[in-house]
Structure 1
Amino acid sequence: MDKVNVERQLLDPNAYPDKVDKVEHVETHISHIFLAGAYAYKIKKPLNLGFLDFSTLQKRKFFCEEEVRLNSRLSSDIYIDVVPIIYSNGRTLILDNQIDKQLDIIEYAVRMHRFDRKMELDTLLDQKDNNLWRDEWIDELASCVAEFHRNSAVASVESG
């Protein structure tokens, strides 16, 4: 099954483990995100850009797991887990984490709780005159990031 077909099939609400009425697709330079019901599912594009390598299924699985592990430190209320995507009986399906080892996994997705896209920082900044924006958020964000770095372990030079 080619990648384009997987992406097209993930637009089908029946591809998801929960009841979904509509699926929205957001594309970034390295990912496809499918907004489906209460969840967002992010698959990594099979790319090797030198500074990142998602060229194989195993590498994409590893980096999905790393994304959940690393980003959960600051966004544990958003990141849930990594789920397999299979192709079965002519359909692409996202499974809950329980899988039969006999199934042919064709991709992995980061599963996240969905949030209101109006609350994305770039959207808020574009509409600073709206009632949602609070100037003090920048100071709060800076304090949160500074505290995170203050409490993080220092990596050795050898770690890359």
Structure 2
Amino acid sequence: MKLSYRSSYNKLITKMEAMQQRVPRQGIRWAMDNAKAVDQSCRDHLETQGRGGTPPPLSSMTRQIYAKDGEPDGSGIVDHLTLEFRKRGDKFYATLGIPNGKPAMIAKVQDRGTTVRVTEKMRGFLSARYGIHLRQETTHINIPGRHFWERSLRRGRSKAMRELKRFFREVTR
């Protein structure tokens, strides 16, 4: 039995040319699908952990503020999430985020949590506006993080890698 290297080489070239045609189109679809999945995961997490779903227990301070001002409508950070797709040259970009400014700062605090130092001005505001009288020894207020970015990105990354492996198996057929 003889092996024909010329025939194998020609088959390889044909297969690579076909793959070269499919990769950009399917790669864009892969990027769009996975960016949309991460976006949806973020939105779902914010809705279930925020006012729109089953929230974690509220602090007594938060309950007092809501009693005075009413609860937020649940939109908050979800309304500021943006998902953009663009192509620059031969590269395709899918970007999920929150524009800079106050919403981005609030999202960062919601995601990571923070500790706020209590000033005399804050103490006076909380007392006058909401009737919240902080003890003199209270020097900080802790805001726990909800970790919606981290959780959503971790889930999205593992799903995207599974899809990418499937994608390459499909493209190299």
TM range (shorter): under 0.3
TM-score computed with the length of structure 2 as normaliser: 0.24
TM-score computed with the length of structure 1 as normaliser: 0.26
**Which structure is larger by alpha-carbon Rg, 1 or 2?**
2
| Higher RCO (CA < 8 A, seq sep 6+) | 2
